[in-house]
Structure 1
Amino acid sequence: MSVLGINEQKHASKPSWSWLRGATGPLIGLIGLCLFLSLATDTFLSTRNGLNILDQITVLGIMSVGMTFVILIGGIDLSVGSVLALSMMVMGWTANVAGLPLGVGIVFGLAASAASGLLVGLMVTMFRVPAFIATLAMMSAARGVANMITDGQQIVGFPDWFMMLAIDRHFGALTATVFLMLVVLVVAWAFLQLRAEGRMLYAVGGNQEVARLAGINVARVTIAVYVCCAMLAGLAGIVLAARLDSVQPSSGFGYELDTIAAVVIGGTSLSGGAGGIGGTLIGVLIIGVLRNGLNLLNVSPFIQQVIIGVVIVLAVGAETVRRKRR
């Protein structure tokens, strides 16, 4: 490997202490978007609408943390939407059909999602199945199992305390689900910046062979990342169930695309080794603010999909140009 290659590898595998690593452009875009919507609508710039946006991004925010880990190691996970539905259905069946306490159902739901991530990790590391194919297979399998649990029927009716997690505003501002999302984001940021295990993700994403020669167990890191991503998707499913006060096997369709979009818009490189939680948060906010603003402007949902697609292309294009300049 050339000296230049070694220097590039060190640069790719060492995380910056700045929480806005690679996300300055998206932050400017978010500020510009907020300014535009503030002028275009009368209700956007209000405390109530701001709190609504936070409520609406909780599921996406939690899922995007796990996806950030996966993309940092140079992987991809297309199964998170289906794993979300699987976790919801396992929780709902355990609590409402089997009659066990809801807390036990939540644990079972998270365990089911973790098992899904473990299977994906083993397929990628032991059987050398490309991550795209492994997670595509899990996307289909998890969705099928979610439907099998109740023969495609939804489950409704949970304890009041569970639904109130997404309704009650503590201190007049944040719900428990929003607080949970913020805790996940802070813990993930601290893990990447302050723990040696977090820095390993950057090393694996920068160059797996160099990481292996440096003494990093690449297979173990990969499996752990996919398990973590799946568990966070399962946790997001629990949050979604609290918001809806019901669970249904069709939940989560298209969430994997939104999650990947949020991470990429936030500046995390699809080739791995560069990015961070700060950028992901900005990407999640861009998608949340954009959808909220387009709804306030009465823009058709179909046109919204086109606009978000254009935003994703622009974000990836900007990341590619930035990489070439380096």
Structure 2
Amino acid sequence: MATVESTEKPVSRKNYNLLFSLTLVGLLVALCVLLSFATNTFATGNNIANLLRQGSMIAVLAIGQTFVIITSGIDLSVGAVVGFSTVIIASLLQAGFPIWLAIVATLLVGLAIGIFHGFGIVKMGLPPFIITLATLTSLRGIGLLMTNGSTINIVHQGLAQFARDSFLGIPNLFWMVVVVALPAYVLLEHTKWGRYLFAVGSNHEAARLSGVSVPKLIYLAYCVSAVSAAFVGVLLSARLGVGNATQGDGWELQAIASSVIGGTSLFGAVGSVQGPLIGAFILATINNGANLLNVNSFWQRIITGLLIIAIVYFDQLRRRGK
């Protein structure tokens, strides 16, 4: 019986993720069709390109957040990491560093933040909510101190041009989602580390007794999340041409919402890479369409909140049915 269970559970999870992802794609297509009829500007090339750029950065954040939530954790710092990363790369470029070195250094800062989160959770025994909330507030303060509360302009033309350009008619920023999503998918679905992440999220103690190094997996999850956020900071600085510690404010909630809408369970052990990606673009489409229809921005938040409630509710029903 043990052999049968070990072969059936992964298949069941993959089938669930596939079915849920197809449902999300159907919802996204339905939204696009509806908005195409409701407005004259939604289906234009410029608006679609803008929509892809808007959703891309939240999508990358959602991928990193998903790794953390699968382990039954949470990372509230990703928005602050985005803003802090824009300050880091802007400061390095202003100091005359080559663009490649500035980008690598910014990603290493993100890695250091992820290691710090892992250390706080594993070694200090702090709840993920507390350590990442502390980082959120601290990074905002450090970034504002570094810039004296001002904005650092980025004059690197190549970086700005990259954010504006497209490849094969698709914005470069969207291609960056592909660059992040492919290795994330392979890691989560086709390596032992991915299987172990789900095991940790299901039951920490059972995973430990099975020989899984739970601390290493927690470090891995939070490093993926923080590096993804630092990468988004690089992309955001390229798009806006500035570094400011207040950028990315509230993006942690959008990343969590995208992940949850994409089928990631806040209880852990359930999630995928493709789900949060689609979830991010569903949110971006709702926000874009609401702006085109001149809908009050408060309604956008209400719709997002109702989506989260509905999906978490159905996730609870699914768990009870097991």
TM-score (structure 2 length as normaliser): 0.93
| Matched letter for residue 166 of structure 2 | R
> 1:222: how far off?
0.2
2 CA distance for matches of 1:322 and 1:38?
34
Q: Higher helix fraction: Structure 1 or Structure 2?
A: 2
Corresponding residue of 2:69: 71
Q: Where do residues 35-50 of structure 1 align in structure 2 (5 Å cutoff)?
A: 35-50=33-48
Query: Does 2:288 match 1:292?
Result: yes
> 1:296: how far off?
1.1
Query: Does 2:305 match 1:305?
Result: no
Aligned 8 A contact 1:13 1:206 in 2:
no
* Counterpart selection for 2:198 from 197, 202, 217: 202
Aligned 8 A contact 1:84 1:252 in 2:
yes
1 CA distance for matches of 2:135 and 2:37?
44
Q: Where do residues 204-219 of structure 1 align in structure 2 (5 Å cutoff)?
A: 204-219=200-215
Corresponding residue of 1:248: 244
2 CA distance for matches of 1:15 and 1:221?
20
Corresponding residue of 1:283: 279
2 CA distance for matches of 1:297 and 1:136?
35
Aligned 8 A contact 2:159 2:238 in 1:
yes
Extract unaligned runs of 5+ from structure 1. Answer: none
Alignment deviations for residues 120-159 of structure 1 (CA, whole Å, 9 cap, x no partner): 1111011110111111111111111111111111101321
| 2:308 aligned counterpart, secondary structure | helix
Q: Where do residues 75-90 of structure 1 align in structure 2 (5 Å cutoff)?
A: 75-90=73-88
2 CA distance for matches of 1:192 and 1:107?
24
Corresponding residue of 2:111: 114
Q: Percent identity over the alignment?
A: 34
| 2:167 aligned counterpart, secondary structure | coil
Aligned 8 A contact 1:86 1:143 in 2:
yes
Query: Does 2:26 match 1:28?
Result: yes
Alignment deviations for residues 145-196 of structure 1 (CA, whole Å, 9 cap, x no partner): 111111111101321110011111123x123222111121122112111111
Query: Does 2:145 match 1:148?
Result: yes
* Counterpart selection for 1:193 from 170, 185, 189: 189
TM-score (structure 1 length as normaliser): 0.92
Aligned 8 A contact 2:154 2:243 in 1:
no
1 CA distance for matches of 2:221 and 2:170?
29
2 CA distance for matches of 1:19 and 1:323?
14
Alignment deviations for residues 85-113 of structure 1 (CA, whole Å, 9 cap, x no partner): 111111111111x2222322222211222
1 CA distance for matches of 2:313 and 2:31?
19
Corresponding residue of 2:125: 128
Aligned 8 A contact 1:265 1:283 in 2:
yes
